[in-house]
Amino acid sequence: MLGPALIVALSLASKPPALTSTAETSGFQRTGRYEEVQALCAAFVARFPGKVTCAPFGTTPLGRPMLHLVASEDGVLTPEAAKEKGRPVLFFQAGIHSGEIDGKDAGFLLLRDLLEGKVGDGALFKVTVVFVPVLNVDGHERFGKNHRPNQRGPREMGWRVTSQNLNLNRDFAKAEAPETQAVLKLLHAWAPILFADLHVTDGAKFQHDVSVTFEPWATGPEGLKVAGKALRAELFAELEGKGHLPVGFYPAFNADDDPASGFSYGWPSPRFANAYWAANNRYGLLVETHSWKDFGARVKTTYDVCLGLLTQAARNGPAWLKAAAEADAAGAKQAGGDVALLYEPTKQPRTLDFLGYEYAREPSDVSGKLWIRYDEKKPAVWKVPYFDELGPALTVRAPKGGYLVPPPHAAWVAQKLALHGISFVTLAKDEPSAKVQTFRATPRFRGAPYEGRQTVQLEGQWKDDTQALPAGTLFIPAAQPRLSLAMHLLEPTAPDSFAAWGFFNAHFEQKEYLEDYLAEAFARELLKDPKVKAAFDARLKDEAFAKDPAARLRFFYERHPSYDARLNLVPVYRAERQPGR
């Protein structure tokens, strides 16, 4: 029979060492629950006083605290201290999709090794790290087996979306989820020179173990592009030296399930976290380990990517900060100029040697389409087209003065702009007749909701107009560093604009109408006007119009005093100057 002292000794000996996670103790078969994140957070602070802080930065819809750690060997642990010292800040975000949880366990491992001096060559004396172990906490705790069926490990994992069923990595522009709003405040408080969003990719089976994509390096401000190309080259060389097989694009086939279709380098709109931060004239990275590698290998890969970024920042961070400051200054001078908001691959590919496996595509008697089977025992080199040259897909001329949002929408738009760090002022006096540009849209609504919203594609043009600007109207000046981001949110044709996300949909709904029998009578009176008759006769030459009774009557209804002159008018204006000046 064992005595009490021996029982205690054996119990202590069986406990994992301090700062050790479930991932480590299970041989990277499992990942811990959120309680472990809370415990590790507190343990880091206790183990490294004055070098680590841990604090909540928000609360989830289910009332769970959202935690972040800050680490610095020399105690630069607040945004104010980092700004005063000119300290480069790196921000690592994990668990935005909580089934893709490699970043959480890799981040804790890396922080421990850095603070114990095992890796990094003292990088934390030169760089401050902000680490969010799990952004989607409610999703993390929707825990179960096989939540990621095309991912090898861990045995159980969290869920992709939040308790409100929102995908946080589609929310950074519209900023509706409380989790997104919280992390935006944290991001803009710290203003990191580099932000890395840590994921696990879906998709095909191949040999490459990680995708790292970021901007600016192919697009964006010139100084950051130049430094970005060096960052990319050095990081990939370091990863390859450690046995990794990185690629610089998201490895999704150009044609679904067909490796022969090849790949494209693409850059998304700022609904995505990495693209959002790049739109702030900083480095926004998407790190995607490959789902068919085992959990332990993926954690090690994420660890190595983050370590490589950190050591580069220790060497080159001050130069990155200088380039970012120059980009901010240049951005503030873009008023009245053309601004590229979106890019797309050009039509000229090159041949890429991509490390895959032998595969077969055969007709399926189940689905009736081709299905693909990979043989992981037979590595192969796929010679496939790769479209890696980008050209502007949406270019918009910025206003010389800025944008205006009338009072009916000013309150909520002001809250969104503040979250995004975009400057604005509120007009104190009425301006009864202001020269502006307005956008009257032709809306095309998406057939099904997307991320809980009825999205809409808008076509139209800005035209000179005169509008009353009541006191309380917002003015968003074009002369500011985040002009590009402001344009993404305010330009109606941008895919992540407030208009495109459906915030203004009520303005595209006809609320008043004219009965057909009244329209018939009104039309006959109106046709006595030779100009109206000539215009109507001209429209009748269009066969589709001529055969559409509703369109013919609408021609006259649009000339009736009851017609809503503000129908389809987007409640965002442009101005050549700030009103009142």
Quick: pLDDT tens for 195-249. 999 999 988 999 999 999 999 999 999 999 999 999 999 999 999 999 999 999 9
Inter-residue contact 246 to 208 (CB < 8 Å): yes
Q: Given a cut of 60, is residue 489 above it in pLDDT?
A: yes
- Residue among 293, 300, 289, 398 at smallest CA distance from 340: 398
pLDDT tens by residue, 291-316:
999 999 999 999 999 999 999 999 99
Q: Given a cut of 80, is residue 429 above it in pLDDT?
A: yes
Longest C-alpha distance within the chain, in Å? 112
Give the pLDDT of residue 421: 98
Give the pLDDT of residue 16: 43
Residues forming CATH 3.40.630.10 domain(s) in the chain: 7-331
CA-CA distance, 398 to 340, in Å (whole number)? 10
Q: Where are the alpha helices (DSSP H) in 338-450?
A: 407-419
Mean pLDDT over 167-193 rounds to 98
CA-CA distance, 186 to 74, in Å (whole number)? 21
Tokens coding 116: 């114990």
pLDDT tens by residue, 22-61:
999 999 999 999 999 999 999 999 999 999 999 999 999 9
301 to 106, 237, 327, 355, 501: CA distances (angstroms): 8, 14, 32, 17, 36
Give the pLDDT of residue 202: 86
Phi, psi for residue 237 in degrees, rounded to 5: -65, -40
Percent of the chain with pLDDT over 90: 91
Give the pLDDT of residue 536: 95
Which sign, positive or negative, has the C-alpha torsion 521, 523, 524, 525? positive
Q: Given a cut of 60, is residue 156 above it in pLDDT?
A: yes
Phi, psi for residue 321 in degrees, rounded to 5: -60, -40
Phi, psi for residue 274 in degrees, rounded to 5: -65, -40
Work out the pLDDT band at 347, boundaries 50, 70, 90. Answer: confident
Lowest mean pLDDT among 124-133, 269-278, 504-513: 504-513
Inter-residue contact 93 to 287 (CB < 8 Å): no
Task: Say which residue the tokens 């604009």 belong to.
Answer: 497
Rounded to two decimals, the pTM is 0.93
Task: Say which residue the tokens 């001209």 belong to.
Answer: 538
Task: Say which residue the tokens 């949002």 belong to.
Answer: 405
CA-CA distance, 44 to 133, in Å (whole number)? 13
Mean pLDDT, the chain, integer: 95
Q: Given a cut of 60, is residue 21 above it in pLDDT?
A: yes
Mean pLDDT over 1-14 rounds to 40
Domain 7-331 grouped into CATH 3.40.630.10: yes
Mean pLDDT over 85-91 rounds to 98
Residue type, 521: A
Would you call 565 helix, strand, or coil by DSSP?
coil
Work out the pLDDT band at 569, boundaries 50, 70, 90. Answer: very high
According to DSSP, residue 125 is labeled: G
Give residue 122's region: left, alpha or beta (phi > 0; psi -120 to 50): left
Inter-residue contact 313 to 127 (CB < 8 Å): yes
Q: Given a cut of 80, is residue 538 above it in pLDDT?
A: yes
Burial-class residue 505 by CB neighbours within 10 Å (0-12, 13-18, 19+): middle
Q: Which uninterrupted H or E stretch holds 41?
A: helix 34-47
CA-CA distance, 53 to 75, in Å (whole number)? 10
Residue 168 contacts by C-beta under 8 Å, 6 or more apart in sequence? 96, 97, 135, 136, 161, 162, 177, 179, 180, 273
CA-CA distance, 257 to 441, in Å (whole number)? 37
Give the pLDDT of residue 58: 98
Give the pLDDT of residue 463: 97
Question: Which residues on adjacent β-strands are paired with residue 71?
Answer: 52, 129
Lowest mean pLDDT among 84-88, 246-250, 511-515: 511-515
Q: Given a cut of 90, is residue 464 above it in pLDDT?
A: yes
Mean pLDDT over 262-281 rounds to 97
Task: Say which residue the tokens 């044609």 belong to.
Answer: 255
CA-CA distance, 211 to 250, in Å (whole number)? 6
Phi, psi for residue 70 in degrees, rounded to 5: -125, 130
Q: Strand runs (DSSP E) across 158-248, as ranges?
A: 194-201, 210-215, 246-247
337 to 330, 362, 372, 396, 522: CA distances (angstroms): 11, 52, 48, 8, 46
Give the pLDDT of residue 15: 53
Inter-residue contact 263 to 354 (CB < 8 Å): yes
